[in-house]
Amino acid sequence: IHALLAPQYWCQGVSLEDCAARARNAWAFGLYAPTGDLVGFLRLVTDRISFAYLSDVVVEEALRGQGLAEFMVTSALGLPEIE
């Protein structure tokens, strides 16, 4: 996750430990290639009652423009626990 997020402008300077804590303290979603490599990530920060804040949506640069981020967001927001 850190390797995918670290190059993004909004995560520059975020340590590996802080990145891991952010993922642990939210609903984290990964998108994996058939090889098992992580190619996309997002997290929902939520109180699990009344709000969910979408954060850190990122797709591997080589795979951008294929609708993968939209797929991840739609899938995450379509969960019964979030609706």
Across the range 43-72, mean pLDDT stands at: 94
**49 pLDDT higher than 90:** no
pLDDT at 48: 85
18: left (phi over 0), alpha (psi -120 to 50) or beta: alpha
pTM: 0.85
Q: Distance between CA 83 and CA 77 in Å, rounded?
A: 7
- Calculate mean pLDDT across residues 49-60: 92
Residue 8's pLDDT is what?
A: 87
Residue among 82, 77, 3, 80 at smallest CA distance from 40: 3
Q: What percent of the chain lies above the pLDDT cut of 90?
A: 57
Kindly list the domain boundaries of the chain, sorted by start residue. 2-77
CATH of domain 2-77: 3.40.630.30
